[in-house]
Amino acid sequence: MRFATRMLVVQVATQVAVVAVCTAVFAWLGVQQLKAEADSSALNIARSVAEAPEVRDLVAAYSADPGTPDAAGLRDGLLQRYAVDVTSRTEGLFVVITDDHGIRLAHPDPDRLGQVVSTSFADALAGREVVTWETGTLGESARAKVPVYPPDGGAPVGEVSVGFERASVFDDLPALVAGIAVAVALAVAIGAVVSLLMRRRLERLTLGVQPEELVALVQTQTAVLDGADEGVLAVDEAGVVRVCTTTAERLLGITDAVGTDAVGRPLADLDLSPAVATALAGAGASTGLPVEGRVVFIDVRPVRRGARALGRVAVLRDRTDVAALSGRLDSVRAMGDALRVQRHENANRLHAAVGLLDAGRTAEARAFLADLVDRGSVDWAVPGIDLVGDAMLQSFLGAKALAARERGVVLRVSDDTYLRGTVDDVEDVVAVLGNLLDNAVTATASGPEPREVEVAVLGDGDAIVLTVADTGGGIADVHAAFAPRERADDPAAVHGLGIGLPLSREFARRRGGDVWVVDPGGNGHGAVVAARLPGVLRGENE
């Protein structure tokens, strides 16, 4: 049996039990009320009869006679006629009048006149009124016994006993029971309807999932969400956060921003950056967003159950290491291309030298090889590249110069360059330098002549200071260049195309360095961007 059905059965059974108890109590109170009304009616009638002047006179007279009253005379007497008349008018069982010896002076059965009553009359003669249920010659009845006093006062001289039979007392009981039964039926029906409505409401709120199934769902959710590296953020149709894992809070910096749990709070109150808020409210950020020093991919999907829309869920993936590795891989690929060019050029020159030797042109071959020794195996055609003492950086700058030349941009090394040490951590250096050069070449390629990019590399102890200047249009908004946002397709937004500059700054700051804009440019001259990377240089810079 389903939980909702069990709850319905339990609720209806409880309602029936409560109504049954209430019914029993009301029925008992009704019976007591009917009995009290019968007792009260009997007592009032008995008092009225006992207070009648003719009754007091005749009873006092019969009590004063020491003999036994004649039964035949009593049958046609005034007391008998009076008692019968009162019994008829009140629809009672009997009205009995006795003297001080308990002799019946009036009785519904004329044959019992002149006889002693079957019940005690001592209380009435003692001056006490008695209301009780007793069984006499006429059967069980609710009766009241009232003393009869003589006209001139004094001790009681007799009693008046008035009774109502049990059947007449409970004449109204069937109607009372019927009313209670109707009320019980209505109460049970209302309770059953309310229980059904509550069951439907519960199933609508839980989407038809039973509580025992909810336990399994919670266990599964905890195991899946807490065991995954991705963060999950679920928002309902009203924009209120319903699920937010610890990983999601960490990736979005929610805990630090709001200082409390994000669950139950509107998404607009979480103090998220505009780019992140837009991604969460829309289709996500498949190209990645720099958030709190990390590159976060946001995948947003709508959630539905049947035809009902429940909201949307966002899966957040930390791809900082992947993005960094991708940037470093691009740099390594560029260096690999440069080395392949160098190998090809070197092979060509060696073939030329061999050809001269084979032709017997020894003097020319000697001069050719001497020139090769002086200029190196490859002529990168990058002015000032000899000032860079690290061979790996030379190859990297040479490859970048070849790529820039294809776009009509000339790359040259500044005369201020001075580097005599050896770079140890090449990946971070080429990742930062490659991003700065790519931004500068892009900014320059779309601008007017001359299209030039100048790079300066300086050694400062174990740190390298890089400076890249271009002849482009400059940086319109320095803050926006480092702000996290998705990649723009606007060709004018050449500095900070997406995650490059923020990620480069993150690389530098992790080492205790930084990336900053020295001169935003504009008004006819380009921008100058610098970076400082500590702990990447080995050897002395003299």
Q: What is the CATH number of the domain that holds 240?
A: 3.30.450.20
Question: Could you tell me which residue, 531 or 178, shows the higher pLDDT?
Answer: 531
- Answer whether residue 521 is part of any domain: yes
Q: What share of the chain in percent tops pLDDT 70? A: 78
pLDDT score of 101: 85
User: Is the same domain home to 35 and 164?
Assistant: yes
User: Is the same domain home to 158 and 14?
Assistant: yes
Q: In the listed set 173, 208, 240, which residue is the last one of a domain according to the structure? A: 173
For residue 229, is pLDDT > 70? no
Give the separation between CA 121 and CA 133, rounded to whole angstroms.
14
User: Is the same domain home to 303 and 438?
Assistant: no
User: Is the same domain home to 155 and 238?
Assistant: no
Mean pLDDT of the region 315-343? 67
- Answer whether residue 189 is part of any domain: no
Mean pLDDT of the region 152-181? 77
pLDDT score of 496: 42
For residue 335, is pLDDT > 80? no
pLDDT score of 293: 60
Question: Could you tell me which residue, 337 or 424, shows the higher pLDDT?
Answer: 424
Burial 298-336 (b: 16+ CB within 10 A, else e): bebeeeeeeeeebbbbbbbbbbbeebbeebbeebbebbe
User: Is the same domain home to 27 and 110?
Assistant: yes
Q: In the listed set 156, 173, 190, which residue is the last one of a domain according to the structure? A: 173
Strands 452-460 and 410-413: parallel
Q: In the listed set 263, 289, 318, which residue is the last one of a domain according to the structure? A: 318
- Answer whether residue 476 is part of any domain: yes
R_g of the chain computed on alpha carbons = 56
User: Is the same domain home to 270 and 404?
Assistant: no
**Full domain range(s) for residue 128:** 3-173
Query: CA angle at residue 62 from 57 to 65, to 5 degrees?
Result: 125
Question: Could you tell me which residue, 42 or 297, shows the higher pLDDT?
Answer: 42
The torsion region of residue 77 among left (phi > 0), alpha (psi -120 to 50) and beta comes to beta
Return the C-alpha torsion angle 252, 255, 260, 261, nearest 10.
Answer: 50
User: Is the same domain home to 146 and 239?
Assistant: no
- Answer whether residue 330 is part of any domain: no
pTM given for the model = 0.45
Q: Could you tell me the sign of the dihedral formed by the alpha carbons of 204, 207, 210, 211, in that order?
A: negative
Question: Could you tell me which residue, 497 or 100, shows the higher pLDDT?
Answer: 100
Q: What domain count does the chain have? A: 3
- Answer whether residue 368 is part of any domain: no
- Answer whether residue 388 is part of any domain: yes
**CATH number for position 523:** 3.30.565.10
User: Is the same domain home to 159 and 250?
Assistant: no
Mean pLDDT of the region 113-128? 85
User: Is the same domain home to 158 and 92?
Assistant: yes
- Answer whether residue 144 is part of any domain: yes
Is the distance from CB of 413 to CB of 393 less than 8 angstroms? no
For residue 431, is pLDDT > 70? yes
User: Is the same domain home to 60 and 129?
Assistant: yes
Mean pLDDT of the region 99-106? 86
- Answer whether residue 21 is part of any domain: yes
User: Is the same domain home to 148 and 51?
Assistant: yes
What mean pLDDT value characterizes the chain?
78
Mean pLDDT of the region 78-92? 85
User: Is the same domain home to 124 and 253?
Assistant: no
